Structure 1
């Protein structure tokens, strides 16, 4: 028979050994679930990174052209002896498996080799070209997120209206249009016809070498590339945000919030939009990876001196160390961004913990 004292003990007190067991089991289960989730995601990322390493070496060996012969066309004292010396210097006379092993060991140790075209270490070349890429991509990313999320949420809230149809149609056009086509249209209208913005490089040659004139000139040169890149990115955010908002608007908590007399703008921003942001997390992190990638086509068309334009220049040689290093950086940035998004999903979305 149980005593009154024992019966009166609160659940989970120090005198009841079994009282805290459910909470302990829940914490243990959550920890085990997180460990399995991280193991699956990290192992998948490692496999993807290994595939990137293998692909980066072999994919560029099938490009037409010989980098040494292309390099010697600009030399006045070219000779067979010089060609053999250059091939030996860059290890291009070794068997393919020896070249691959040298590339693999160097890449894993952080050494991407020396550029054939520029005669400088690849990492030094990357360091010189990464700032324009981050500047252009970062500004375009911020604008794309702000425009895409806000217009997508409002389009869903006004589903079926003229505002909704107009925004969806414009987004679909940009989402399906080739980047080079949008860039060429922007150049024809804003540069050739209206003569409002320059289309080449990052700074004009006649700009004084002072901080404010340089800053204003860079901003002037950034307008067209930023508009082009923003137009190509924001459409995906708008369409995804709109679809996510439409799913949320059918839930009971939206009806409850409206029944309380809250204004539509408050219900949309503080309730529906906050929950609708969850599915867009992966898109944002993927875009961060694309910022590092450098918007290859945009930089190529506008000759923006970033990593994307460097990649385009290296293809013409072909400059194997630069191409391999950039490919590894581009692809790894995307893989790691997706991994970060998956990990963040565990903490912000309870549905991920049930998978």
Structure 2
């Protein structure tokens, strides 16, 4: 019951936060240079001021800014993200088409980064001071410091162009006609490179944090007590050190899980992955305000949702934490 009350309170807070984010995003986008009506008129080859005025009137861009803001907030409160200026389709429909691809990419990268990062960090802390610890630390620093776009381009050149092991672009083979398991395998092949490149940066962060946190926990009094009681090193490592060292890792992972969804723009652009990040970039170039606001709001909602889930995971990892 207490957990349900906590969850309902956090959901109410999340809704309030998202409304504030919607207002801030609206004001920031409207403050940016560029006019959707002028962009669309230019693409249509018409610079007639009357045609531009008609476009502004059609999309409500001729109304005062406060009126536009109230209209937008009212639509968001009804879960209506409006219509794309450029594609003449509901924004929610466009996002729904692209969101699964982004979730597949980011969740795969997130799980891989967290799993391998925590494993390498735990192994490195257990071998602290040895050449293996130095090797893990060195590679973690290299991947952390390497620009993501450069790593993505090198991965395409090496594994796709040079070795021809994996496809370098797209979500699946165009015109292949695959179905069932064959289509699944084809998507997985296309997923390997972008997911791996996106994962290695976060894996390096989790490995470093896990190692540092475990070395700190290993010096605490209750670990000394566990050793004095005769517990095996493996059990001490798994049940006592790692479990208590995971809290800061979970905190960082909860923050980065939401940021990873919105931050996949670069990876999706390099690998031509048809996700929400690429949709966001296209909307920005085309000055498609409604579509851009919709993508911002959805990524913000995912970030808030991941933070709520992270708070709930705290109580599972450490029962001493109370829900308030």
TM-score normalized by the length of structure 1: 0.80
Residues 105-114 or 68-77, more deviating:
68-77
Q: 1:162 to 1:51 in 2, by over 3 A?
A: farther
**Conserved? CA contact 1:204–1:217, under 8 Å:** yes
Correspondence for 1:192 among 161, 185, 194? 161
Residues 219-228 or 204-213, more deviating:
204-213
**What number of residue pairs does the alignment pair up?**
323
1:63 is matched with: 32
* Rounded Cα–Cα distance in structure 1 between residues aligned with 2:119 and 2:279: 34
* Rounded Cα–Cα distance in structure 2 between residues aligned with 1:34 and 1:286: 21
2:248 is matched with: 279
Correspondence for 2:43 among 61, 74, 96? 74
Deviations, residues 130-187 of structure 1 (Å, cap 9, x unaligned): 1111111111111111101111111112112111122122222222333212212212
2:198 equivalent to 1:229: yes
2:301 is matched with: 332
Which structure's CA Rg is the greater one?
1
**Conserved? CA contact 2:243–2:317, under 8 Å:** no
2:69 equivalent to 1:106: no
1:220 is matched with: 189
Runs of 4+ in structure 1 deviating by more than 6 angstroms, as ranges, are: 33-44
**Conserved? CA contact 1:70–1:317, under 8 Å:** yes
Correspondence for 2:114 among 145, 150, 155? 145
Structure 2's unaligned 5+ residue stretches are none
1:10 is matched with: none
- Report how far residue 121 of structure 1 moved: 0.3
1:131 is matched with: 100
- Report how far residue 263 of structure 1 moved: 4.1
CA RMSD of aligned residues (A): 3.0
- Report how far residue 310 of structure 1 moved: 0.5
Structure 1's unaligned 5+ residue stretches are 1-32
**Conserved? CA contact 1:134–1:291, under 8 Å:** no
- Report how far residue 244 of structure 1 moved: 1.5
Counterpart of 1:186 in 2: which secondary structure? helix
Residues 185-194 or 321-330, more deviating:
185-194
**Conserved? CA contact 2:169–2:273, under 8 Å:** yes
Q: 1:44 to 1:211 in 2, by over 3 A?
A: closer
TM-score normalized by the length of structure 2: 0.87
* Rounded Cα–Cα distance in structure 2 between residues aligned with 1:170 and 1:41: 39
* Rounded Cα–Cα distance in structure 1 between residues aligned with 2:95 and 2:148: 24
Q: 1:290 to 1:54 in 2, by over 3 A?
A: same
**Conserved? CA contact 1:112–1:121, under 8 Å:** yes
Correspondence for 2:290 among 317, 321, 325? 321
1:26 is matched with: none
1:158 is matched with: 127
- Report how far residue 325 of structure 1 moved: 1.1
1:250 is matched with: 219
Q: 1:209 to 1:85 in 2, by over 3 A?
A: farther
- Report how far residue 211 of structure 1 moved: 2.2
